Amino acid sequence: MTQWSGYLGLILQGALVTIELTLMGSVLALIMAFLAGMGRVSRFFIVRALATTYIEFFRGTSIFVQLFWAYFVLPFAGLSLTPLQAGVLALGLNVGAYAAEVVRGAILSVGREQYEACTALNLGRWQGMRHVILPQALLVMLPTFGNNAIELLKATSVVSLISLADLTFQAQVVRSQTGSTLMPFLSVLIIYFALALIISWGVRTLERRMARGLDGVRV
Amino acid sequence: GAQSADDAKLEQLKQQGFARVAIANEPPYTAVAADGKVSGAAPDVAREIFKRLGVNDIVASISEYGAMIPGLQAGRFDVVTAGLFMKPERCAAVAYSEPVLCDAEAMLVKKGNPKGFKSYEDIAKDASATVGAPGGGTEEKLALNAGVPRDRVIVVPDGQSGLKMVQDGRIDAYSLPVLSINDLMKKANDPNLEVIAPVQGAPVYCDGAAFKKGDEALRDAYDVELAKMKKSGEFAKIIEPYGFSAKAAMSTTRDKLCAAK
Amino acid sequence: MPAPIIKVDAISKSFGAFKVLDGLSMQVMPGEKLALIGPSGSGKTTILRILMTLEKIDGGHIQVDGEQLYHMERNGQLLPADERHLAKMRQKIGMVFQLFNLFPHKCVMDNVTLAPMLTKGTPRAAAEKRAMELLDMVGLADKAKSMPAQLSGGQKQRVAIARALALSPKIMLFDEVTSALDPELVEEVLNVMRKLAAETDMTMLLVTHEMGFAHDFADRVLFFDRGRIVEEGKPDEIFRHPKQERTQGFLKKIIAAGHRV
Amino acid sequence: MPAPIIKVDAISKSFGAFKVLDGLSMQVMPGEKLALIGPSGSGKTTILRILMTLEKIDGGHIQVDGEQLYHMERNGQLLPADERHLAKMRQKIGMVFQLFNLFPHKCVMDNVTLAPMLTKGTPRAAAEKRAMELLDMVGLADKAKSMPAQLSGGQKQRVAIARALALSPKIMLFDEVTSALDPELVEEVLNVMRKLAAETDMTMLLVTHEMGFAHDFADRVLFFDRGRIVEEGKPDEIFRHPKQERTQGFLKKIIAAGHRV
Amino acid sequence: MAWDWDFVREIMPTLIQGVKITILATILGSILAAIVGLGIALARRSENRFVSRSVGWFAEFIRGTPLLVQLYFIFYVLPDIGILLPPLVAGVIGLGLHYGTYTAEVYRAGIDNVPRGQWEAAKACNLNGRHTWTHIILPQAIPPMIPALANYFIAMFKETPLLSAITVLELMNQAKSVANTYYRYIEPMTLVGAFFLVISLCSVVLLRWLEHRYGRIER
Ligand SMILES: Nc1ncnc2c1ncn2[C@@H]1O[C@H](COP(=O)(O)OP(=O)(O)OP(=O)(O)O)[C@@H](O)[C@H]1O
Ligand SMILES: Nc1ncnc2c1ncn2[C@@H]1O[C@H](COP(=O)(O)OP(=O)(O)OP(=O)(O)O)[C@@H](O)[C@H]1O
Ligand SMILES: [Mg+2]
Ligand SMILES: [Mg+2]
């Protein structure tokens, strides 16, 4: 079984691509999540409608179809993206749509009484949002954001469709070139899991840091 | 007009210093070394020709068969050199060079060929037989044309999976070009398998470098260098170590293959 | 005689089909301390929330400090108030809630300084100085850096009072500010309110089930039932010699349940 | 003199590092009505929950009706009780909670009949007959088919009492059964409990902040502070002439907060 | 490359074949996920530390790694130890196991959402463990989880294209196959996208109704 071990480098290259995709996709997803999530609770119908359309469209169609479109169909509209760009775009927009609902839910989960306290203190809508509602909502969003990031990590495995040499893809290559099935798959499973553990550990740490003081423990 | 636009394509490749090439994950057409370097008959030929055209290098990306032609059409690749055999319908979809790699079809079956397959028609006749083939590949179409119903032609993502499925008894036969099957057999080294080659009634096919429709000028330039290499014997030197026959490629032409019915 | 600071004129308010306030009118003089009592669901909280603009009214008019609350005059016409007008009117009014509604992610000091800094642009130093005076007044100067979760209910409520006072409103609204507190903690909050009533000439409206406190605190008591004021008068009149049957019944029940009057 | 029905012997209980009960001992005679009073956090609820086996004890012994509660004798040795033993002991004890804890997905009748049918195998007809008697006793015979969500707090609490009685326990535990109720609804629950105290010879332990009721209801009052019994005696002694400083302070605060004693 | 309605008409019957398989896989996968999820949720509450811990880690592992790789594993590696599953069965097991780890969280939240007072009341009524579960806890826990469960089943539906990797001829695979036969990609891929969008929009309506009927639960 040493035959395939020489290919470990290839798999690690794939891991790098996967990490890159996950990070860049997460950043895009985060931006979209806040834009669309806050758009959903906007006072203006147009903004709400736009946000809802975005969310329902990207949650509604499958990520496969979105990838295919971003990579193979957008060029016909004159927009030719590199595989990495197309991957980040599709993954970020897709996961961003899910995370937008998390943002919306978290904003709504802040009790009505907090909004009323803002009114009673004569804070403006944006002031209340910025200083009172969002800081509290952020803590509610965080754990689900962690799950979303893991979902994104896992979704990167389908980018092989557009010839991106990510972990899963490299596992396939190694398998074809060496004839060994078990080892490449097992090793990428372990790498994915390790990455997922790192994400959830990071989010938990962040959450603990942000929750300080809220539970009555001395800061 | 169109001519100058086409020249522009080659100019552009020269300037950027590389051409983007789609290859398949299928030895010996392509091989990926442990360090990630791409070799194999198809990319080696392409690399050499582009060098002669003044394009220093090729950047090869491994692609699913199904994603190659849409990728070419969408401008993802400049050329596909992946063992995409020339057939009339394909000739309509892409612009082929003259033939490069030729191969007959083969089938991988269990030792002793328990169901006695010799041709795709044999599979069609046996109502319980299933055959695996790459999705959108030549073998899939041959099987379908021979009368094997859609639900008995299993789309298999890659060679290794096909081999595994024959070993596990999920399919009765797995069909690929002869050299691909031989390479699979060599790696698997499984005494319980057997290769049937060539498949009776299946023609010998040749692939060519596939260009986007509209890039004919580039294709023509490619052909010129290809012809020179064939003549000088360098062509044979590149492909024969991989098991391909240069003679087969030189004994036929694009026009013949694209017209075949 | 000075003009009333609050003039409620025949307002009505429904939640769905349920009419909570039904043509309610009342007037409050500047500096007056008013207690609103009455059975559960009679609309006491609702009228306070309307004055704080947390609910809209369905009909009628309200004047606060000489200006329309829910309407604004433009070219001699009364139009529904816009957000700007409401924000201006809210400067005159502060409210303390039953459940404190402190901002849990901000320390005591920040809870008190946030609104003056954001709405009035008070510089931080000035806002903190004033906050310290207020916290001192409610006896919590040493808790300025604590988080709300580290405080007892009574302390939280005192912070909430300081927070409302930080905007220096002319009118303060208190909605059952002690009913969520442990019995032992009620007194500390009531003490703060007594002090406030004695030391300032602020107008204060108080909804409470603490009949004893209502008696000592108020200049005038309004008894609510089913969205109307059934009886009003000096505390002694209402508590000792209620005229209306409904008032008598209510007070009897309250006494039987163990509350001191 | 009969033997005590409950004998608590030097039990202790901690939550993490916090010692809630600290070597507590007490005895209750059959048929006795006991009121447990004391400041918040003093361990009143905890001792009731321990008797109901909702919490485990860290040390000490409890005897109920002549048998060990948390231990069982096997071959002359005291072993920790297993689930079977606990289930047997629980038959002797019923509990009514502050927040009623009715089963919201079952109608009033089913709430009352569920336990007898499941734990004692009482046939449905008999269980329903007894349930109707109990509901009648608490004045809710006409609500048998209602769902808990359709009831007021006072009605819910009366159903909870009927439910606990349906198992005919020898001992009933009441934990602040009126403190979640609107003041107007308190009386109807207390009336039911008065009736219960007068008509049955059940042993009853009552935790309450309603000092007036505790005074009228109890044969004996225990004053808790920091997990210990600081003072005990007849209601008149405790409420009129408390000996301990801590008791005096507590009662003073309660009275100041507006509660009748 | 222009849109061709005649071509659409021609490939429709083939795609509908794929739709049938897609729906079948989703239904079977959902049933399995519902069962597996309950099993995991109960095992994780087990008193036996070993059982709860190891099931917990197993679920974490499944949830942290891509379904695609798991499908490869089930289909291509398991036969090495003598487990040979037909493609659809392997696919359903993959879906059911993967989504079972999600539904387990739903079950857990549903059970945890039953107030502690209900457990205590059951004890005060002297009900035994089995009676408490069947008469008190599950009847209250399950209705509020129905919307969240349905949500995952819809997500699963959108992931069925992964089954094409293990030769299941579901919708995506059929679409790819016709695309490769005719070298026309826009029509089949757009139809797949449209189909997913239609089903998801319908399922949004269904979800809203379920939420209305059974109450909300946050994901
Ligand atoms: N947002 C709302 N939607 C529907 N009904 C409401 C709403 N707010 C209040 N109500 C109803 O209006 C009625 C009056 O409520 P209000 O809170 O003013 O009573 P209250 O006199 O303050 O009673 P309490 O002493 O119980 O606080 C109640 O029946 C209440 O159920
Ligand atoms: N499960 C628990 N975990 C940690 N601490 C607890 C727990 N249950 C109770 N406590 C703590 O134990 C102490 C005693 O609680 P207990 O409920 O017995 O007091 P109590 O006398 O009933 O007070 P109250 O009058 O407020 O109901 C409190 O400080 C409480 O915070
Ligand atoms: Mg109120
Ligand atoms: Mg208690």
Q: How many CA atoms lie within 13 A of A110 on its CB side?
A: 30
Q: Take residue A207 and report the two structure tokens written for it.
A: 């959450």
Please write the tens of the pLDDT for every residue from C104-159. 999 999 999 999 999 999 999 999 999 999 999 999 999 999 999 888 888 999 99
Helix (H, G, I), strand (E, B) or coil at C49: helix
Please state, rounded to an integer, the average pLDDT across all residues of chain B. 87
C183 lines ligand 1 (CB under 6 A): no
Note the Cα D121 to chain centre separation in Å: 25
What pLDDT is attached to residue A216?
56
Q: What is the pLDDT along chain D (261 residues), one digit of tens a residue?
A: 688 999 999 999 999 888 999 899 999 999 999 999 998 889 999 999 999 999 999 999 999 998 999 888 888 888 888 888 999 999 999 999 998 899 999 999 999 999 999 999 999 999 999 999 999 999 999 999 999 988 888 899 999 999 999 999 999 999 998 888 887 788 888 999 999 988 888 999 999 988 888 998 999 999 999 889 999 999 999 988 899 888 888 888 777 665 554
User: How far, in Å, CA of E192 to CA of C109, rounded?
Assistant: 58
What pLDDT is attached to residue E1?
56
pTM above 0.90, yes or no: no
How many CB atoms neighbour CB B176 within 10 A?
28
Please write the tens of the pLDDT for every residue from B132-151. 998 777 888 899 889 999 88
Q: Take residue B79 and report the two structure tokens written for it.
A: 């050329």
8 Å CB contact of A69 and E66: no
Is residue D51 within 8 Å of residue D173, measured between CB atoms? yes
Q: How confident is the model at residue B2 (pLDDT cuts 50, 70, 90)?
A: very low
Q: Take residue B37 and report the two structure tokens written for it.
A: 């370097």
**Chains A, E in contact, 3 or more Cβ pairs below 8 Å:** yes
User: How far, in Å, CA of A26 to CA of A95, rounded?
Assistant: 8
- pLDDT of E216 > 70? The answer is no
What pLDDT is attached to residue D212?
87
Q: Take residue E83 and report the two structure tokens written for it.
A: 């487990």
User: How far, in Å, CA of E154 to CA of A60, rounded?
Assistant: 9
- pLDDT of A157 > 60? The answer is yes
- pLDDT of A63 > 60? The answer is yes
The H or E element containing residue C63 is strand C59-64
Please write the tens of the pLDDT for every residue from A33-59. 999 999 999 889 999 999 999 998 898
Q: What is the 3-state secondary structure (H, E, C) of C165-176?
A: HCCCCCEEEEEC
Rounded percentage of chain A residues whose pLDDT exceeds 70: 94
Q: How confident is the model at residue E213 (pLDDT cuts 50, 70, 90)?
A: confident
**Which of A122, A139, A219 minimises the CB distance to C119?**
A122
Q: Which ligand is nearest to the CA of C181?
A: 2
Please write the tens of the pLDDT for every residue from A69-117. 888 778 778 887 888 899 999 999 999 999 999 999 999 988 888 999 9
Please write the tens of the pLDDT for every residue from C1-47. 689 999 999 999 999 889 999 899 999 999 999 999 998 889 999 99
C208 lines ligand 1 (CB under 6 A): no
- pLDDT of C183 > 80? The answer is no
Domain ranges in chain E are 21-167
Specify the fold of E21-167.
Answer: MetI-like fold (1.10.3720)
More confident call, B187 vs D64: D64
- Regarding beta strands B193-196 and B105-110, do their DSSP bridges make them parallel or antiparallel, or are they unpaired? antiparallel
Average pLDDT on C192-214 reads: 91
Average pLDDT on E43-69 reads: 92
User: How far, in Å, CA of B241 to CA of B244, rounded?
Assistant: 7
Q: How confident is the model at residue A2 (pLDDT cuts 50, 70, 90)?
A: very low
Q: Which residue's alpha carbon is at the smallest distance from atom 10 of ligand 1?
A: C15
What pLDDT is attached to residue A1?
45
Cα–Cα separations (whole angstroms), residue B115 to B130, B134, B145, B173, C138: 11, 22, 20, 9, 95
Is residue A8 within 8 Å of residue A167, measured between CB atoms? no
Hey, which chains touch B, using 3+ CB pairs under 8 Å? A, E
Check residue C172 and give left, alpha or beta (phi > 0: left; psi -120 to 50: alpha): beta
Beta bridge partners of B58: B19
User: How far, in Å, CA of D204 to CA of D217, rounded?
Assistant: 10
C43 lines ligand 1 (CB under 6 A): yes
Least confident of B211-225, C24-38, E147-161: E147-161
Q: Which residues contact D195 (CB under 8 A, 6 or more apart)?
A: D137
Q: Take residue A143 and report the two structure tokens written for it.
A: 């754990």
How many CB atoms neighbour CB A217 within 10 A?
11
Spatial CA neighbour of D155 closest among D124, D118, D113, D186 = D186
Is residue B75 within 8 Å of residue B9, measured between CB atoms? no
Torsion angle, CA of D182/C207/C137/C184, rounded to 10 degrees?
-20
User: How far, in Å, CA of D204 to CA of D190, rounded?
Assistant: 14
Spatial CA neighbour of B140 closest among B161, B120, B160 = B120
Domains of chain A listed by start with CATH number: 4-211 (1.10.3720.10)
Spatial CA neighbour of E132 closest among E116, E146, E108 = E116
What pLDDT is attached to residue C257?
64
Average pLDDT on E32-45 reads: 93
Q: Is A127 on the interface with E (CB under 8 A)?
A: no
Q: What is the DSSP string of E139-191?
A: HHHHHHHHHHHHHHHHHHHHHGGGGGGGT---HHHHHHHHHHHHT--HHHHHH
D15 lines ligand 2 (CB under 6 A): yes
C242 lines ligand 1 (CB under 6 A): no
| CA D186-D188-D192 angle, 5° bins | 115
User: How far, in Å, CA of B68 to CA of B22, rounded?
Assistant: 7
How many CB atoms neighbour CB A58 within 10 A?
21
Q: Which residue of E has its CA nearest to D51?
A: E124
Average pLDDT on B80-94 reads: 87
Cα radius of gyration (chain D): 19
Q: Which residues contact D44 (CB under 8 A, 6 or more apart)?
A: D36, D37, D38, D175, D207, D224
Q: How far is the CA of C151 from the centre of ligand 3 (A)?
A: 24
User: How far, in Å, CA of C57 to CA of C64, rounded?
Assistant: 15
Hey, which chains touch A, using 3+ CB pairs under 8 Å? B, C, E
User: How far, in Å, CA of A121 to CA of C167, rounded?
Assistant: 8
Beta bridge partners of B96: B210
Q: What is the 3-state secondary structure (H, E, C) of chain D?
A: CCCCCEEEEEEEEEECCEEEEEEEEEEECCCCEEEEECCCCCCHHHHHHHHCCCCCCCEEEEEECCEECCEEEECCEEEECCHHHHHHHHCCEEEECCCCCCCCCCCHHHHHHHHHHHHHCCCHHHHHHHHHHHHHHCCCHHHCCCCHHHCCHHHHHHHHHHHHHCCCCCEEEEECCCCCCCHHHHHHHHHHHHHHHHHCCCEEEEECCCHHHHHHHCCEEEEEECCEEEEEECHHHHHHCCCCHHHHHHHHHHHHCCECC
Enumerate the residues of chain C whose CB falls inside 8 A of the CB of residue D260: 255, 258-260
User: How far, in Å, CA of C247 to CA of C230, rounded?
Assistant: 8
Point out the ligand 2 atom lying closest to the alpha carbon of residue D44. 21
Point out the ligand 2 atom lying closest to the alpha carbon of residue D176. 27
